[in-house]
Amino acid sequence: MTKTIAVAPMMAWTDRHCRHLHRLYAPNLLLFTEMITTGALLHGKQLHLLDYDAAQHPLAIQLGGNNPEDLAACAKLAERAGYDEININVGCPSDRVQRGTFGACLMLQPDLVARCVEHMQNATSVPITVKCRIGVETRGDEGRHATYEFLHEFIRHIVGAGCKRVYLHARTAILAGLSPAQNRSVPPLRFEFGRQIKQDFPQLELIMNGGIDSLDEASSTMTWADGVMIGRAAYHQPRLLSELNGLLSSTPIDDEAKLLNRYRTYAETRLAAGDRLHDLVRHLLHSFAGQPGARRFRQTLSDHPRLRSEGIDLLDDALTCIEQRSAA
């Protein structure tokens, strides 16, 4: 089975511009959209959320919802838009998501998640996948939903419904008392749950997520898992994406300066299409980390008066900071 390395869906981060940048750093990694709710697509009529550039393939869309019929309708829209994979969010612990009764709290309803998978698979030929935690904790449940037995039962339901790939975040989701940020660090990592799931469901394609922020950790995890999903480390260390790409392909990646000049061409096109300069350059602030000129590069891109009044010249000036220091 071919290994998979994916960049996690991250709200307010993995928009179309971020994905274009990540694709430049890593031609072979699987990219994800931000989570898009079924309500936004079906009732909010925000079909522009499905837009992307063809260069971003392979590309998965993540959907948030709990109604099998609505998810099936959105799966049809995603297939029509050309996405390579459709993922159901059963892992987000935020209060907003809980109020909508989807995300991690859906792990408490494995029958419903299984029905969602079945309806979506019946509506489309695009692979339907699930992203979840190893369990959930709620007030007064005394840890009943954070055991391996609970996770095994959840996986059994969705595999029985036809799900062939699961992205497993190796932490429980604590649904009361912790913020989403705390839920990414406070619950301990339990990768042994993932190892056991792979043994108990050998035909399931298991992609591990959570705390994987180096090439060595990814390589080690992929000795027993079918792949890894990288979250915030991908955003804060974009060069890590190129290193990870090397696990999938021997084709060399351009140096960072050349990659950013290619992004400049993309940015100029998007500015002409009406996109805002700030939205295009905010994802570049972690590029060139540790290199001569990086601080001045970030300062230039963070010049708010210029962001409001200028165009591609601002990015040109920022890139010049790197070129001048490199030539010095």
Active-site pick, 18, 92, 116, 321: 92
CA distances from 136 to 57, 113, 142, 175, 217 (A): 33, 15, 11, 7, 25
> Measured between alpha carbons, how far is 328 from 325 in angstroms, rounded to an integer?
5
CATH of the domain spanning 256-327? 1.20.120
User: For residue 7, what are the CA distances in angstroms to 25, 244, 269?
Assistant: 12, 11, 25
Given CATH 3.20.20.70, say whether it is the number of domain 4-245: yes
Residue ranges matching CATH 3.20.20.70 in the chain: 4-245
Separation of alpha carbons 197 and 188, rounded Å: 18
What pLDDT is recorded for position 99?
Answer: 72
Residue linked to tokens 């913020």: 179
Would you list the DSSP string of 30-77? Answer: BEEEEEEEHHHHHTS--GGGG---GGG-SEEEEEE---HHHHHHHHHH
First to last CA, the chain: 48
Is residue 284 helix, strand or coil?
Answer: helix
- Return the CA Rg of the chain: 20
Q: What is the pLDDT of residue 276?
A: 95
Residue 147 token pair: 């055991």
Query: 191 with 199: CB under 8 angstroms?
Result: no
Can you give the pLDDT at residue 326? Answer: 54
Contacts of 265 (CB under 8 A, 6+ apart): none
H or E, element range at 317:
helix 312-327
CB 59 within 8 A of CB 52: yes
- 7 burial via Cβ count (<10 Å: 0-12, 13-18, 19+): buried
What's the burial of 148, exposed, middle or buried (CB within 10 Å: 0-12/13-18/19+)? middle
Which contiguous run of DSSP H or E holds residue 169? strand 165-174
Is the Cα dihedral 251, 252, 258, 259 positive or negative? positive
Residues forming CATH 1.20.120 domain(s) in the chain: 256-327
pLDDT tens digits for the chain (328 residues)?
Answer: 789 999 999 999 999 999 999 999 999 999 999 999 999 999 877 778 999 999 999 999 999 999 999 999 999 999 999 999 999 999 988 777 667 678 889 999 999 999 999 999 999 999 999 999 999 988 777 678 989 999 999 999 999 999 999 999 999 998 877 777 787 878 889 999 999 999 999 999 999 999 999 999 999 999 999 999 999 999 999 999 999 999 999 999 999 999 999 999 999 999 999 999 999 999 999 999 999 999 999 999 999 999 998 899 999 999 999 976 655 4
What is the DSSP secondary structure assignment for residue 226, as one 8-state letter? S
Distance CA 279, CA 16 (A): 10
Task: Please confirm, yes or no, whether 74 is among the known catalytic residues.
Answer: no
DSSP string, 241-279: HHHHHTTT--SPPPPHHHHHHHHHHHHHHHHHTT--HHH
Q: What is the pLDDT of residue 328?
A: 47
Are 173 and 209 in contact, with CB atoms under 8 Å apart?
A: no
Cα separation, 8 vs 5, in Å, equals 10
pLDDT of residue 174: 85
User: Please, are residues 195 and 165 in contact by the beta-carbon 8 Å criterion?
Assistant: no
